[in-house]
Chains A and B, each alone.
Chain A
Amino acid sequence: MAARAPAPVRGGNTRFAQFKLVLLGESAVGKSSLVLRFVKDQFDDYRESTIGAAFLTQTISLDDTTTVKFEIWDTAGQERYKSLAPMYYRNANCAVVVYDITQASSLDKAKQWVKELQRQANENIIIALAGNKLDLVTDQPDKRAISTADAEAYAKEAGLLFFETSAKTSENVRELFTAIAKKLPLDQAGPRNPRAGGRAGVELRAESAGTQGGGPAFEAGDYCIIAPKPWRGALRARSKNVPAFSDDAPYNITNPTTLCRSTQPVMLRASIRSSRAIGYKPNVTSAARQWHALQAGRAISGQTRSYADKPSIADSTPVVLPGSASASTNEPPPPGPVATSLNSKAASPTPSTPSASTIPPQNVPLTPPPPGKTTSGSPPPPSPPPPKPKRRLRKFFTTLLLLSTLGFGGGVYYSRVNDNFHDFFTEYVPFGEEAVLYFEEKEFRKRFPTIGNRIRPRDTGEQVRIPSQSGVSWRVSEDTSSSRHANATKPGQKPAEAVAKAESDHSKAPTEAPAKPNHPVAKEAAPAQKSPEAVAFVAPEVDQPSRFPPEVTRIDPINIEDAKEPLVQDLVKIINDIIAVVNADNENSKFSTTIGKAKDEISKVGSKVKSLKAAIEEEANAKVQASHAEFDKAAQELVKRIESEMASQEARWKEEYETERQKLQQTYEQKLKAEIDRANEVNEQRLRNELLEQAVEMRRKFTAEVKDRVEEERNSRLGKLSDLSNTVNELEKLTTDWNSVVDANLKTQHLHVAVEAVRANLEKSQVPRPFTKELAALKEIASDDPVVNAAIASINPVAYQRGIPSPAQLIDRFRRVASEVRKASLLPEDAGVASHASSLVLSKLLFKKKGLALGDDVESILTRTEVLLEEGDLDGAAREMNGLSGWAKTLSRDWLGEVRKVLEVQQALDSR
C-alpha cells in the first residue's frame, strides 16, 4: 500500500514521483489500447478483452527535473468485473475514465464511474475524461455520437480533465497523461521516505480495519500477517485437544483478536506506536488526503487496542498485556513468575548471570575462598582434593538443573508470547507441549470459568462408539412396518373391531392398575393386623391402604357390558379413575355410596344409550329397505331403456353395413373392367410390333442379296485391269536398272574427285586443318562402298576433326622433342631429383652424332630419326622413335601419336 502513495524523492535537482493511475470505462472503449499506446506506443487492431486487470508502468519526464512514474492499472470493463474495480481505484492518485465517442451509452457509463470515483475513491483523486476512437470520427464525421461540446461541458461541470484521444493514431494520448501528471500535486508531497516500516504498519492496520470481513481476496494477502494467526492458533489448539480454543464458536467469530493471543496485540501496539509517532505531528495535516484512511484506521485501532489490552470485558483485573512486542522492550511486566524474575533482572543495575542470582546460598560453591583461609595456607590443600571433584560435579549439576529449569520456564513463558517460538518449543522440547498447554488452559479457565467447567468433560478423551447398525440403511424394514400398516389402513374398514380393541385396552389398564396394589396388600393383610407398629414401620415401602384391612371391600371399578359408546366409555374411564383415586386415598367409606350412585347412573345411561341406539337402528333399517326398493325400480327402468336403445343401434348398423358392401362391390367391378381393357390394348400393341419386325427383316435380306450380285460382277471385270498394271510395273523396273548403272558410274567418278580433293587438301596445307567436310563428302559419295567406309573408319576421328600436321611441321616439332629427350637421355631406371639434375647438366656435354649413326643409345636413335625424317620416311622415323624407353619415350609420346595419325590418313587415302 505504501508503494501506491506518491513518492517524490528529491535527489539533488531532480524530483521523482510515483502515482497510481487507474483506467475505467465501459468495455471495448479502448482502455487497454490507450494504455498500450502510451506505454509501448503500439496499437493492435484486434485486441482481446482484458481479464481482471492489467498492470503497466510508464515513466514520463515533465521537465528536466521532474520525472513521473505512472503505475497504471488497466481494469476490465466488462460488467462482471465491476465488483473488482474498487480494489483497483482504491488509493489511486489519478483515474482516466474512458468512453467511446461513437457510442452514446459509454458516456453514461463513464459518468457513473466518475460518480463512483468521487464518492468512494481518494478524496483528491484527479480524474480525466477521455473520449477515445477519435480516428473513426475524423474519417466519417457522421459516426460521432457524443459531441465534443457536450462532453467538455460535463467535464467542466464535474471538474475533470478532458481529452478526445485516439489510441490508433496516438492523438492526444501523451497529452492526456502529461496533463494528468502536471495536475498531480508534485510539490505537496514533501520529501520523505515512503517505504519506512512504521508507516507501512499504520497503513496496514488502517486498511485491515476498513476492509474487515468483506475485503477482496488480494487485500487479505496484503495483511496476511494478521489474518492467518487466529486460524493458525485455532488449528493448533484443535489438534492438541485444547478445549479452550477449539469448541467455542462465538468466541472464535466475535473476537478473533483475543484468539490469536499475543501476536495480534503485538501488531496492534506496533501500529499504534508508529501512528502516534506520525499522527501527533501537526504538519501531517498538510498531506491530509493521503492520511484520511490512516486516521480512520487509527480510530479503529484505538478501539481495538483497548479491547486487546483488556483480554476480556468481564475481567475486572487490571490490564495486563499478554506479552511485549519483543524481548528487548521494557513493556509492562508479563504475568508469571518467570517473567517477573526476568523483569527484576533487567531492572537490576548490574546484570548478573541467572545462576548467580537465583541459586540458593547454601548451594553456592565456595570457589572464591575467604581471604582468611587463603592466608592460613598449608593445612587446607590436602583436604580439598577429595571433595573438590564432588563439589564441582555437584555445582555443575545444580547449575545445569537450574539453568535447564530456568530455560524451560522461560521457554514456556516465551512460547506463550511468541507464536513461532511456541511451535518450536512444543515440537522440540520434551514436556514443553504439556507445560505450555497447562498454562494456556489455566489462563483460559481463569478468564472463562463457566466455559471451562462446561467444557471440562470433553477433555476426557473417551472414545465415542457408534453401533454398527445405526444410521440410515438402504434396506426397507419389513417386520415392524407390516403391523403398523395394518393399524393404519384397517381402522376405516373395520371401525368396530378397532373400537373393541381400544376398549379392551382401556378396560385392561384400569383393572390392572388397581390389581397391583391389591396384591401386596393381600399379602400384608394378616401381619398388619397383628402388629400395627411393624406395619407402620413397613408403611413407606408398601401401599398405604394396607392399614385398613377391613375396608378391603374396595370400590370395584365399573364394568358395563354395553359400554360400546365412546361417550359411555369415557364416563366409565372417569369413574374408574375416581375409584382408583379413592381407593388410593382409602376414603372408600366416604365415597362408596356416591360412587355406587354414579355407577348406577352410568349403567342407566348405558342402557338408555343402548335402547336409543336400538331404536335408531330400526329406523335406519326401515329407511335402507325403502331406498333398496326405490333403487331396484330405477335400475329396472334403466335396463329397459338401454335394451331398447341397443336394438335401435343394431338396426342402424346393419343398414350401414349393407350400403357399404354395395359400394365396395361397385368399385371392384369398375376396377376389373379397367384392367381387362388395358390387357387388350397391350396385346394389340404387341402384335403390331411383331409385324414391324418382320418387315425390317425382309428389307435387310433384300439389300444383302443385291450387294452379293454387284460384287460378283465387279470381280470379273477388274481382273483384266490388274494384269495390265503388272506389265507396266515390269517396264518401270527395267528403266530403274538402267538408271542405277549410270549412277554407279557417276559415283565412282565423284569418289575419285573427292579423294583427290582430300589429298590435295592435306598436302597443300601448311597448317593442320580439319578436313571433316571433305571426308564427309567422300563418305556421302561412297555411301555403300565397304572399302571406303572401312578406310574412313580406320582414320582416327581426331585426325579429321583437327587436321593433320604437314611433314614440315612434324620435323620442326621433332627438333623440339629431341632437345627435351636429350636432356633426359642419361637417366637411370629409378631417377630421383638428383639424377634428373645431373642428366640435365651432363646432356649438354654430350657429343653430337651425325648421319645414320649406329648404336642403341638415345643420342644415336635421335640422329637416325632426324635423318629419316628429312628423307621423308615417316614410317621409319616412327619405328626408330618407338625403340626409345623410359623418360625418353614418355617425352616423345605425343610426337609419335601425331606421326601415327598422319601415317593412318596416308594409308587410308592410298588404299583408294
Chain B
Amino acid sequence: MPETSVAPPAVSRPSKPVSEALLNEKWDHCLSSLLIRSSLGLSFGVVFSVLLFKRRAWPAFVGLGFGAGRAYEECNSSFLRSGKEGVRVQRP
C-alpha cells in the first residue's frame, strides 16, 4: 500500500500516532533524551573539572553518568506509566 494514501488523515491529527507506532516513538524519545542529557551532564562535568577539579577526568564522567541516569529514569517511568491502567493526567 502506498503510504501517500494514508498520509492525509495522518497529517490532519499529528498528535496521535497510530497505535503500532507507540512503542517506537517512545524509544525515539528515550534515545534522544539520553543523548541530550548525557551530553549536558558531560559538558557540566567538563566545566566543573576545568574550573574546580584541576582538569581531572572523573568529574566529566560523573556528569555523564548523571545525565544518562536521568534520561534512563525518565524513559523507564514513561514506559511504566503508559503500560498501566488508571487515571492519567495529560498536559495540554
A767-B5, A813-B1 given; A891·B83 CB < 8 A: no
Residues of the B chain whose Cβ atoms lie less than 8 Å from the Cβ of A813: 1
A816 touches B20 (CB 8 A): yes
**How near does chain B come to A390, taking the closest CB pair, in angstroms?**
81
**How near does chain B come to A802, taking the closest CB pair, in angstroms?**
6
B23 touches A892 (CB 8 A): no
Q: Is B15 an interface residue (CB 8 A)?
A: no
Within 8 A of B (CB), among A824-844: 824, 827, 829-834, 836
B19 touches A831 (CB 8 A): no
In this complex, the member of A816, A820, A833, A893 whose beta carbon has the largest number of chain B beta carbons within 10 angstroms is: A833
Beta-carbon nearest neighbor of A816 in chain B: B20
Partner pick for A891 among B22, B79, B80, CB 8 A cutoff: B22
B19 touches A891 (CB 8 A): yes
B1 touches A832 (CB 8 A): no
A894 touches B18 (CB 8 A): yes
**How near does chain B come to A902, taking the closest CB pair, in angstroms?**
15
B79 touches A892 (CB 8 A): no
Q: B75-87: contact bitstring with A at CB < 8 Å (1 yes, 0 no)?
A: 1100110111000
Partner pick for B20 among A802, A827, A833, A892, CB 8 A cutoff: A892
A831 touches B5 (CB 8 A): no
Interface residues on B, range: 20 to 34
B23 touches A823 (CB 8 A): yes
Once bound together, how far apart are the Cα atoms of A824 and B20, in whole Å?
A: 10
Once bound together, how far apart are the Cα atoms of A893 and B9, in whole Å?
A: 17
B80 touches A894 (CB 8 A): no
Beta-carbon nearest neighbor of A840 in chain B: B27
B20 touches A820 (CB 8 A): yes
Residues of the A chain whose Cβ atoms lie less than 8 Å from the Cβ of B79: 831-833, 836
Q: Is A159 an interface residue (CB 8 A)?
A: no
Residues of the A chain whose Cβ atoms lie less than 8 Å from the Cβ of B27: 836
In this complex, the member of A767, A802, A812, A832 whose beta carbon has the largest number of chain B beta carbons within 10 angstroms is: A832
Residues of the B chain whose Cβ atoms lie less than 8 Å from the Cβ of A831: 79-80, 83
A824 touches B23 (CB 8 A): yes
Partner pick for A892 among B19, B76, B82, CB 8 A cutoff: B19
Q: Is B42 an interface residue (CB 8 A)?
A: no
Within 8 A of B (CB), among A873-900: 886-887, 890-895
Once bound together, how far apart are the Cα atoms of A894 and B22, in whole Å?
A: 11
Beta-carbon nearest neighbor of B82 in chain A: A890
Q: A442-464: contact bitstring with B at CB < 8 Å (1 yes, 0 no)?
A: 00000000000000000000000
Beta-carbon nearest neighbor of B8 in chain A: A802
Beta-carbon nearest neighbor of A824 in chain B: B23
Partner pick for B80 among A809, A823, A830, CB 8 A cutoff: A830
Summed over the interface, the residue pairs from A and B with CB atoms below 8 Å come to a total of 53
Residues of the B chain whose Cβ atoms lie less than 8 Å from the Cβ of A891: 19-20, 22-23
Once bound together, how far apart are the Cα atoms of A816 and B84, in whole Å?
A: 24
A836-B79, A887-B83 given; A802·B9 CB < 8 A: yes
Once bound together, how far apart are the Cα atoms of A831 and B19, in whole Å?
A: 18
Q: Is A244 an interface residue (CB 8 A)?
A: no
Q: Is B46 an interface residue (CB 8 A)?
A: no
Within 8 A of A (CB), among B11-36: 18-24, 27, 30
A894 touches B19 (CB 8 A): yes
Partner pick for A812 among B1, B20, B72, CB 8 A cutoff: B1
B19 touches A890 (CB 8 A): yes
Interface residues on A, range: 20 to 34
Q: Is A755 an interface residue (CB 8 A)?
A: no
B23 touches A893 (CB 8 A): no
Within 8 A of A (CB), among B39-92: 72, 75-76, 79-80, 82-84
Residues of the B chain whose Cβ atoms lie less than 8 Å from the Cβ of A829: 83
**How near does chain B come to A762, taking the closest CB pair, in angstroms?**
16
Residues of the B chain whose Cβ atoms lie less than 8 Å from the Cβ of A767: 5
Once bound together, how far apart are the Cα atoms of A802 and B27, in whole Å?
A: 30
Q: Is A817 an interface residue (CB 8 A)?
A: yes
Q: Is A417 an interface residue (CB 8 A)?
A: no
A820 touches B24 (CB 8 A): yes
Residues of the A chain whose Cβ atoms lie less than 8 Å from the Cβ of B21: 820
Beta-carbon nearest neighbor of B26 in chain A: A836
Q: Is A862 an interface residue (CB 8 A)?
A: no
B20 touches A894 (CB 8 A): yes
Beta-carbon nearest neighbor of A830 in chain B: B80
Interface of A is mostly: helix
Once bound together, how far apart are the Cα atoms of A827 and B27, in whole Å?
A: 15
**How near does chain A come to B60, taking the closest CB pair, in angstroms?**
24
Q: Is A256 an interface residue (CB 8 A)?
A: no
Once bound together, how far apart are the Cα atoms of A824 and B22, in whole Å?
A: 11
Once bound together, how far apart are the Cα atoms of A294 and B67, in whole Å?
A: 92
Q: Is A768 an interface residue (CB 8 A)?
A: yes
Residues of the B chain whose Cβ atoms lie less than 8 Å from the Cβ of A886: 83
Q: Is A134 an interface residue (CB 8 A)?
A: no
Once bound together, how far apart are the Cα atoms of A767 and B9, in whole Å?
A: 13
Q: Is A821 an interface residue (CB 8 A)?
A: yes
A833 touches B30 (CB 8 A): yes
Once bound together, how far apart are the Cα atoms of A824 and B27, in whole Å?
A: 12
B72 touches A833 (CB 8 A): yes
Once bound together, how far apart are the Cα atoms of A817 and B9, in whole Å?
A: 19
Residues of the B chain whose Cβ atoms lie less than 8 Å from the Cβ of A812: 1
Within 8 A of B (CB), among A585-610: none
**How near does chain B come to A17, taking the closest CB pair, in angstroms?**
64
Beta-carbon nearest neighbor of B73 in chain A: A833
Once bound together, how far apart are the Cα atoms of A890 and B72, in whole Å?
A: 23
A836 touches B5 (CB 8 A): no
B5 touches A833 (CB 8 A): no
**How near does chain B come to A167, taking the closest CB pair, in angstroms?**
67
**How near does chain A come to B53, taking the closest CB pair, in angstroms?**
31
**How near does chain B come to A649, taking the closest CB pair, in angstroms?**
120
Once bound together, how far apart are the Cα atoms of A895 and B24, in whole Å?
A: 16
**How near does chain A come to B47, taking the closest CB pair, in angstroms?**
29
**How near does chain A come to B24, taking the closest CB pair, in angstroms?**
7
Residues of the B chain whose Cβ atoms lie less than 8 Å from the Cβ of A834: 76
A895 touches B30 (CB 8 A): no
**How near does chain B come to A133, taking the closest CB pair, in angstroms?**
72
Partner pick for B5 among A768, A816, A887, A892, CB 8 A cutoff: A768
B20 touches A830 (CB 8 A): no
Beta-carbon nearest neighbor of B84 in chain A: A830
Residues of the B chain whose Cβ atoms lie less than 8 Å from the Cβ of A895: 19-20
Once bound together, how far apart are the Cα atoms of A469 and B67, in whole Å?
A: 108
Once bound together, how far apart are the Cα atoms of A791 and B39, in whole Å?
A: 59
Within 8 A of B (CB), among A782-833: 802, 809, 812-813, 816-817, 820-821, 823-824, 827, 829-833
B1 touches A809 (CB 8 A): yes
Residues of the A chain whose Cβ atoms lie less than 8 Å from the Cβ of B82: 890
A887 touches B19 (CB 8 A): no
**How near does chain B come to A824, taking the closest CB pair, in angstroms?**
6
In this complex, the member of B9, B75, B83 whose beta carbon has the largest number of chain A beta carbons within 10 angstroms is: B83
Once bound together, how far apart are the Cα atoms of A833 and B80, in whole Å?
A: 8
Once bound together, how far apart are the Cα atoms of A892 and B19, in whole Å?
A: 6
A830-B80, A831-B79 given; A887·B23 CB < 8 A: yes
Once bound together, how far apart are the Cα atoms of A895 and B6, in whole Å?
A: 13
Residues of the A chain whose Cβ atoms lie less than 8 Å from the Cβ of B22: 890-891
Beta-carbon nearest neighbor of B34 in chain A: A833
**How near does chain A come to B77, taking the closest CB pair, in angstroms?**
8
What 5 pairs between A and B have smallest CB-CB spacing?
Answer: A894-B19, A893-B19, A820-B20, A833-B76, A832-B76
Binding site for B on A (CB under 8 A): 767-768, 802, 809, 812-813, 816-817, 820-821, 823-824, 827, 829-834, 836, 886-887, 890-895
Binding site for A on B (CB under 8 A): 1, 5, 9, 18-24, 27, 30, 72, 75-76, 79-80, 82-84
20 sample A-B contacts, Cβ–Cβ < 8 Å, listed by A number: A768-B5, A809-B1, A812-B1, A813-B1, A816-B20, A817-B20, A820-B20, A820-B24, A823-B23, A824-B23, A827-B83, A832-B79, A833-B76, A834-B76, A836-B79, A886-B83, A887-B23, A892-B19, A892-B20, A895-B20
Given contacts A767-B5, A832-B76, 15 further A-B contacts (CB under 8 A): A802-B9, A809-B1, A812-B1, A820-B21, A820-B23, A823-B23, A829-B83, A831-B79, A833-B76, A834-B76, A836-B79, A886-B83, A891-B22, A894-B20, A895-B19
